[in-house]
Structure 1
Amino acid sequence: MKNFRIIFAEDDPVCATFLRRSLQHLGHDVIGETDTGEEVITLCRDRRPDLLLTDIQLRGLNGQQAAEAILDQQILPVILISSHHSETMVERARSNDISAYLVKPIELADLSTTIPIVMQRFQDMQTTKNENARLSQELQNRKLIERAKGILMKRSCLDESVAFNRIRKMARDRRVCLAEIANCIIVSEEALGGV
């Protein structure tokens, strides 16, 4: 199993000791631990962990509120820990991108199975988001290129392939991407009042 950089927040000293020892036993690096909601926010901001485990009951700001504040600042998987099961808390966790919810008493087996699943799902989700962003940008670029081709075809009475080859040559000569040249053509046309 791959090891991860983990921060945990737990206000019960016995449970905190168990978490630290269990995470280290599983090969993970515990890069921070605290018993307050405010400090876990600071630790996550400063140390950028791979994973956060937080009990809901913490001193000061509770763990769920702290997790929500952290997720507003950065993207990372979060496992919430609670001493009791509550449908309301589970629903709130689900709506706030919490990755998993464990009910005490937690055992080593709970951690050894939950952490790899959470991390794999998080990785899969990030890969999907990145691919969607790439495809969205590609579609946007194609729209720009099509619009620029249309402008060149209209302004210079060119057919589609000649207009596209002109954009491609300009991009190659300037060592920039096609979309950048297309955008320049569109901006120039707008400046001339043609669009």
Structure 2
Amino acid sequence: MTTTSERNLRILLANERKEDLRALGDVLDHLGHEVTPFAVSVAEATELIAREDPDLAFVVLDGDDEHGLALIAETVSYASGPVLVSVRKAESPETIARAADMGIMGYVDSWAPDDLQGAIDVAVRRHREEQRLSEKVAQLESALDRRVIIERAKGILMERHRVGERAAFELLRDHARSSGRRVFDVAQTVLDGHALLPPN
């Protein structure tokens, strides 16, 4: 299976040193990406994320770990896309672990074009997969919530009309068909006390 590299992304760069950001920005520009204005402070990162809505963000760790970690925390919190960390100097394992706990999608310690593009490709794909999984979980939770409501409505009908579980469900289903609504919607009205369906 062949895959294509992610190109033409809007990328936010954040670090306390603009000269580093310019150097990284030049490499990303040559790779075909659009680099947003640079963020140096945490406040600038928040403002730029809100204004530019980047597809991906790079936070460069370059000596001041606490400032870099504050940028990571803010960027991960507000960015809609994945966040990568670029490491310019040797960083302690604790710093990288803290960054990972904050939700980064990866890190790269080289600014060679192929290395940067590889890290971007992995981060974007991981982020998309995470979004798909989140959507799937939300769908499953919604389906479970609907099932709980239908089961509770069936219980009310079973008690109210002294019928079995199957007959209670058929009451819900038949009422839904005749009124052009979903079984879940009819079940919700039963729970709300607005519809106590008569037995057939």
Q: 1:146: how far off?
A: 1.1
- Residue 151 of structure 2 is aligned with which of 123, 146, 150? 146
Asked if residue 96 in structure 1 is aligned to residue 102 in structure 2, the reply is: yes
Give the number of aligned pairs.
187
**Inter-CA distance 50–168: structure 2 relative to 1 (3 Å threshold):** farther
Q: What aligned pairs does 1:173-184 form with structure 2 within 5 A after superposition?
A: 175-184=180-189
Q: Which residue of 2 aligns with 1:36?
A: 41
Please give the per-residue CA displacement for 1:7-36, whole angstroms capped at 9, x wherever unaligned.
Answer: 111344443223222222222222332322
Q: Which residue of 1 aligns with 2:173?
A: 168
Asked if residue 52 in structure 1 is aligned to residue 50 in structure 2, the reply is: no
Q: Which residue of 1 aligns with 2:26?
A: 21
Amino acid at match of 2:107: Y
Query: In 1, Cα distance between the equivalents of 2:161 and 2:67?
Result: 65
Q: 1:58: how far off?
A: 9.1
Query: In 1, Cα distance between the equivalents of 2:121 and 2:180?
Result: 43
Please give the per-residue CA displacement for 1:48-95, whole angstroms capped at 9, x wherever unaligned.
Answer: 212110113599x82321221233345431111232221111110121
Q: Which residue of 2 aligns with 1:78?
A: 83
User: Taking every aligned residue pair, what percent have the same amino acid on both sides?
Assistant: 26
Asked if residue 128 in structure 1 is aligned to residue 133 in structure 2, the reply is: yes
TM-score by length of 2: 0.80
TM-score by length of 1: 0.82
Q: Is the 8 A contact 1:171 1:178 kept in 2?
A: yes
Q: Is the 8 A contact 2:49 2:78 kept in 1?
A: no
What SS does structure 2 have at the residue aligned with 1:7? strand
Query: In 2, Cα distance between the equivalents of 1:74 and 1:148?
Result: 42
What SS does structure 2 have at the residue aligned with 1:98? coil
Amino acid at match of 1:56: L
Asked if residue 2 in structure 1 is aligned to residue 10 in structure 2, the reply is: no
Q: Is the 8 A contact 2:16 2:67 kept in 1?
A: no
Q: Quick check: 33-42 or 140-149, which moved more?
A: 33-42
Q: Is the 8 A contact 1:168 1:178 kept in 2?
A: yes
Which ranges of structure 1 fall in alignment gaps of 5 or more residues? 190-195
Q: Which residue of 2 aligns with 1:64?
A: 69
Which ranges of structure 2 fall in alignment gaps of 5 or more residues? 195-200
Superposed CA RMSD in Å reads 2.5
Query: In 2, Cα distance between the equivalents of 1:19 and 1:171?
Result: 60
Q: Is the 8 A contact 1:80 1:101 kept in 2?
A: yes
Amino acid at match of 1:86: S
